[in-house]
């Protein structure tokens, strides 16, 4: 059930240029449901908390979910990410903690660009590993900025490489396509509308393993992407399960006043 965390990991989609399309710091809360139906059962919550200082970004994600497989058997899944991404977008230090039915798995990692190489060092329960990522691979915050930049420039479809810390601990190849307005599922009855500032675009994304170049996507994502970096009305399909996430609370924060470099 690790793919339940995909809906937020998925947005690590896409030149780590700080000023091109800058995200805004924010805290977003989501309600998770099993399936796209209007009466789909609620299975958990997710929070993305993105803060910023003059050195870079601090990203925290907290996902809690419980699914009733049978009346007597429930599966609980917890996924936590705590990461630091420098202002340049040239690296990432992170810690993930995933708990499934009480069994914990902790991973610590570092990705750093040095010259023409982008090296990853990851320490996981099955042992440490080191490898070189494709040079165009983007870090989580830089990837969302690039996604917004391309959409804002009118790109209808484009590929990109993005590092994912939570699902595969490697690079995703992400193919992005802008959808026609009205294609995304509507807001569920009774859900409170959340006012998100700025323009937005409905998009469809497919995710495959970037270094292995496999043909079949691991999962797909539909979502509304706002120019502030906020996401809403997410639908993730893994082939085995469909998980949806709807924005239920949003706190926008002012970016720090930093000297230009």
Write the pLDDT tens digit of every residue in 30-79.
999 999 998 999 999 999 999 999 999 999 999 999 887 677 778 888 99
Determine the distance from the C-alpha atom of residue 238 to the mean position of all C-alpha atoms in its chain, rounded to a whole number: 15
CA dihedral 27, 151, 142, 172 (to 10 degrees): 100
Percent of the chain with pLDDT over 70: 90
Write the pLDDT tens digit of every residue in 146-162.
999 999 999 999 999 99
For residue 214, count CB atoms less than 10 angstroms from its CB and return exposed for 0-12, middle for 13-18, buried for 19 or more: exposed
Q: What is the pTM of this model?
A: 0.88
User: Tell me, what's the pLDDT at 17?
Assistant: 37
User: Tell me, what's the pLDDT at 174?
Assistant: 93
User: Tell me, what's the pLDDT at 50?
Assistant: 95
CA atoms of 25 and 29, how far apart (whole Å): 14
What is the token pair recorded at 3? 């793919």
Domain coordinates of the chain in residue numbers?
2-250
């Amino acid at each position: 059930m690790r793919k339940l965390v995909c809906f937020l990991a998925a947005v690590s989609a896409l030149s780590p240029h700080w000023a091109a399309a800058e995200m805004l710091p924010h805290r977003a809360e989501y309600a998770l449901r099993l399936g796209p139906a209007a009466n789909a059962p609620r299975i958990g919550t997710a929070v993305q908390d993105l803060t910023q200082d003059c050195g870079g970004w601090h990203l925290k994600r907290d996902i809690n979910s419980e699914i009733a497989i049978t009346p007597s058997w429930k599966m609980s899944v917890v996924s936590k990410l705590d990461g630091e991404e420098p202002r340049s977008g040239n690296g990432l230090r992170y810690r993930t903690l995933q708990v499934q039915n009480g069994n914990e798995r902790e991973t610590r990692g570092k990705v750093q660009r040095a010259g023409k190489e982008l090296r990853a060092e990851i320490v996981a329960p099955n042992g440490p590993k080191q490898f070189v990522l494709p040079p165009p691979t983007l870090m989580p915050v830089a990837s969302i900025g690039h996604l917004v930049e391309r959409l804002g420039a009118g790109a209808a479809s484009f590929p990109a490489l993005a590092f994912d810390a939570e699902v595969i601990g490697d690079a995703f190849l992400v193919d992005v396509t802008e959808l026609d307005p009205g294609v995304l599922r509507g807001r569920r009855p009774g859900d409170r509308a959340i006012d998100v500032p700025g323009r937005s675009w409905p998009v469809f994304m497919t995710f495959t393993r970037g270094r292995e170049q496999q043909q079949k996507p691991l999962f797909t994502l539909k979502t509304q992407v706002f120019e502030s970096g906020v996401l809403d009305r997410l639908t993730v399909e893994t082939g085995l399960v469909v998980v949806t996430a709807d924005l239920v609370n949003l706190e926008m924060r002012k970016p720090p006043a930093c000297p230009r470099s």
